[in-house]
Amino acid sequence: MASENSESTAAETPRKVALVTGITGQDGSYLTELLLEKGYEVHGLIRRSSNFNTQRINHIYIDPHNANKALMKLHYADLSDASSLRRWLDVIKPDEVYNLAAQSHVAVSFEIPGYTADVVATGALRLLEAVRSHTVDSGRTVKYYQAGSSEMFGATPPPQSETTPFHPRSPYAASKVAAHWYTVNYREAYGLFACNGILFNHESPRRGENFVTRKITRALGRIKVGLQRKLFLGNLQASRDWGFAGDYVEAMWLMLQQEKADDYVVATEESHTVEEFLEVSFGYLGLNWKDHVEIDERYFRPAEVDNLKGDASKAKEVLGWKPKVGFEKLVKMMVDEDFEIAKREKLLVDAGHMDAQQQP
């Protein structure tokens, strides 16, 4: 009887509901996997596009007509549209909101600074205000997570912690600083349970192909199978604290499980240059990166960020979080995945189904 009662109680316990912006991105996909594993119902906000951009979450998507199994649901909205944000908060009634959406490419933010600021900075403000007004009108408690970035530290020397001054060096970084302080302001002014996660660079096989780590491993796979000869890069001496995105989303979740809202740096506390990334990745496949890499001035930023290295002592102590995947393991994980993709591309090229255009 006791086991029957416990099963009955478990069945009656309502699922936690999470709302995730940026669900189709690298972090959104890993976070959704984690939340589903923990029994959540997950709602993701996606932008309307003529091309589907859901490849990172296709493996966990279930048609909503299969109501009992479809625990991830997608809705159209945009951080530039405050009315859509408030409407979905009222409809979904989430327990937790994770704001991961952004124009997140640093170099691109120099090309489209106004759009970057509107989505990254003001978009966060719109979502915070939607959460605040929803909680006031409904009487519900909603916990909010804001995705920060180590780019906010910019020119400030490492190691960088929660108390390190910000010195942003790009429109993206400056916008993230604004979003950070909006989050602090809403926590202090309205008592909102709002946390900032200052995440240092986190990579994976799902990283966008125009980010330097994935650009390297993607090109490396193609070079190894003979589809590409050269890889063009910018500053090889830029040093970053690189971790695995799958580890970092756990820290996001842990922040919202605490009794008190606060801000946390999430990092491996190790720093490696782009050149080191090249050495490990190319060496793993038995190649010398110097035979294939050329420097192209167009990939240098107007204002460089030389060295980012986090101090994650607080996250370790308070959240009990620590990274599981080290630098070399991360690099090899990405190389393995992209080598397999390149092999499949080679088959298509050899069969005449694909033109090996890409880079020279």
Kind of pairing, strands 239-240 and 272-273? antiparallel
Contact of 122 with 179, CB cutoff 8 Å: no
Structure tokens at 196: 């900032």
Rounded distance, CA 282 to CA 233, Å? 14
Rounded distance, CA 72 to CA 70, Å? 6
216 beta partners: none
Structure tokens at 233: 């890069």
Q: Which of 130, 123, 283, 274 is nearest to 211 (CA)?
A: 274
Give burial (CB, 10 Å; 0-12/13-18/19+) of 320. Answer: exposed
Q: DSSP class of residue 117?
A: I
Q: Which residues are catalytic?
A: 149, 151, 172
315-319: Cβ within 8 A, 24+ apart: 315/251, 315/264, 315/265, 315/266, 318/258, 318/262, 318/264, 319/251, 319/254, 319/255, 319/258, 319/264
Structure tokens at 232: 């063009």
